[in-house]
Amino acid sequence: MTTNAATDPMIGRMIDHRYRVRSRIARGGMATVYLATDVRLERRVAIKIMHGHLADDQAFRERFIQEARSAARLSHPNLVGVYDQGAEDDTAYIVMEYIPGITLRDLLQEHHALTPEQATDILRAVLAGLASAHRAGIVHRDLKPENVLLADDGRIKLGDFGLARATTANTATGAALLGTIAYLSPELVTRGAADSRSDIYALGIMLYEMLTGEQPYKGEQPMQIAYQHANDSVPAPSAAVPGVPSELDDLVAWSTARNPDDRPSDAREMLDHMAGNQQRATGQYRTAVLRPENATAILPAGGTAPSSADSGDDTTILEPAQRSSGQQPNGRGSRNVPGPRRTGSQPGALSPAGQRLADKSAKRRKRGWIVLAIVLFLAIVGGTIGWALGPGPWGNVRIPEVAGKSVSQARQLLEAQGLSTAKATATRFDAVVAKGQVSTTKPAAKREVRKGTAVQIVVSNGPKMIALPAIVGQPLSTVTAALDDDFQLQDDQYQFSADAAKDTVIAATGLGTDGATIDLSKAGTYGERGPVTLTVSLGPVPDVVGGTVDEATKAFDAVGLTIGAQDGKFSDEVPEGEILSAKPQDSPAVKGTAIDLVVSKGPAPITLPDVHGKTINEATSTLDTLGLKVVVPDCTNILCGFYDWKSSLPVSSTDPVAGTTVHRGDTITLAYEQ
């Protein structure tokens, strides 16, 4: 890239006499985001400024303003706040809350996949903010990891409502589908219709990507991915990453159902569902086990029933009472006391029913010991298996990151983790990793697999070479649309050109594998995702020759040029004050270049020579040489007719007199004595 933020003309600019632009944060398809200072409130803000080449497109301007209006209606801790919106010099801008940190996309690129706890924490925060938008009737329509901001202080915020619109206007405008193809819901792909359930679908895709580190659908062309959205069901994350809880599998399946009616109706319903699952997981919802109403008890001879607190078992066997004569111990009265019926005369013998209950209780106690033994055995076996599956030989390990390393280095790192490597390597195109180095592995890095798993190394073939379309001489919007999907467009360079109309591409450059600059106008192909810098015409430098300096100043200010040095030059043809020539100090001229001017000083001054005493012809010749007009009164003396009097008669005086300042073309009258 040949330009950077340091040469960005917006850096240092004061917008609307309030926002001082400090540095560039990011660049998108519609606008560039800068870090700025609100000098009035003395706080840092993020200011999004629409690209200059889109300023004349009314549809883009309305969509840009729609973002500000949509976001300004919302106020929630998990949404990026919007402070201001306006326009200056045909440039629309939005002033937003500045969130120092990274995006969810950055986090996924660094860590590949997240833990279920991390994924649900981020999803819960995004749902909370999105629920506020849905409650206000706003559909985001462009949910993706790039729009989820993770602040340095731990806050999670959802931003970029550039495609947002009211839920009542649920039809996509234009023939092109808006939003990122990887997160588009089936109804957006097939019908162009979007409502809050379309946002839920995108969140389901994001959840799958957070849990697995990759998107569920892949393809060489966007339409291949769109077809899968419309016709396939998103697989369970646990199929790609063992260990993902079934609750999250269900949540992904629910939120990505192809039929919108089978999804949560909005973010609030999905958030409430997640909160309910968490309560059940923490034990706030329990199943109560009640005691049976008809428990059987063998009561002692005293007939006192056990308290309700002691009647927890189905059968309670109590010690039998001592034998008695059926009288109360104190001898008062002859009341019979009920008790269990006994058979025979053997002391302590129980009735058949009581004996059966006692045998049943004994069997239960015996079964309890057996169950305890089984539990202990299973605990030992489970501990052994847990050790084997953990630090032991059957344990799981994470595949290390080996991208960018040589094949031999990758094998060493994989085998050091207890993994085996397949002898045969695979290849694939890779726009980032140099040819011959490791691009990735199968299974991918950071996946958790069993020790001893065979891992195949995939070697980079370098970037895929893609045919370049016509570039030079084409409108900037046409070239940008043709290159944006396959290459990384850098900041455009602008310069004045007498041979190309305004906003026409006049050059395109890229970088070779050796870092050298490539002229893409002469290259038939170029590596996928390679950087491309376009040079765009600002049109010709305004022609100010023949005009005044004031006129030139206005013309240059309108296109971003300035006036440099001004020199004067005498001219017999151009009136004083008119511009004779204009030349840029730099070639090619760009915005900010100074133009040097040469301004006419009019005809050069002449000091009238003294021709007194010279003949009329001699004086006339001298004055003619200086560009002066000579007038000689006719001779009225009769003798003048008989000889060449102009060659004989001397000049006695001139009008004006000798020494006077005159200019070319002035008339000089000669006087002589007749």
Active-site positions read 142
Cα–Cα distance between 293 and 506 in angstroms, integer?
92
Give backbone dihedrals phi and psi of 565, rounded to 5 degrees, phi first. -75, 150
User: What's the burial of 357, exposed, middle or buried (CB within 10 Å: 0-12/13-18/19+)?
Assistant: buried
Burial class from Cβ neighbours inside 10 Å (0-12, 13-18, 19+) for residue 496 reads: buried
CA dihedral 421, 424, 425, 427 (to 10 degrees): -150
Q: Are 155 and 77 in contact (CB under 8 A)?
A: yes
Strands 629-631 and 579-584 come out as: unpaired
SS3 assignment for 429-484: CCCCCCCCCEEEEECCCCCEEECCCEEEEEEECCCCEEECCCCCCCEHHHHHHHHC
Q: Are residues 430 and 460 in contact, defined by beta-carbon separation less than 8 angstroms? A: yes
Q: 484: Cβ–Cβ under 8 A, 6 or more apart, which residues?
A: 29
Q: Which amino acid is at 39?
A: V
3-state secondary structure 330-342: CCCCCCCCCCCCC
CA distance 455 to 522: 42
DSSP SS3 for 654: strand
Q: How far apart are CA 185 and CA 256, in angstroms?
A: 8
What would the two tokens of residue 210 be?
């957070």
Give the residue from 119, 102, 112, 145 showing the smallest Cα distance to 402: 112
Rg (CA), the chain: 47
Positive or negative: CA dihedral 601, 602, 603, 606: negative
Q: 3-class DSSP state for residue 52? A: helix
Helix, strand, coil percentages for the chain (3-state, nearest 5): 30, 25, 45
Q: Are residues 241 and 211 in contact, defined by beta-carbon separation less than 8 angstroms?
A: yes
Give the whole-angstrom CA distance, residue 436 versus residue 35.
40
Helices (H) and strands (E) in the chain, counts: 14, 34
Peptide bond into 306 cis (omega under 30): no
Q: Which two tokens stand for residue 668?
A: 């000089």
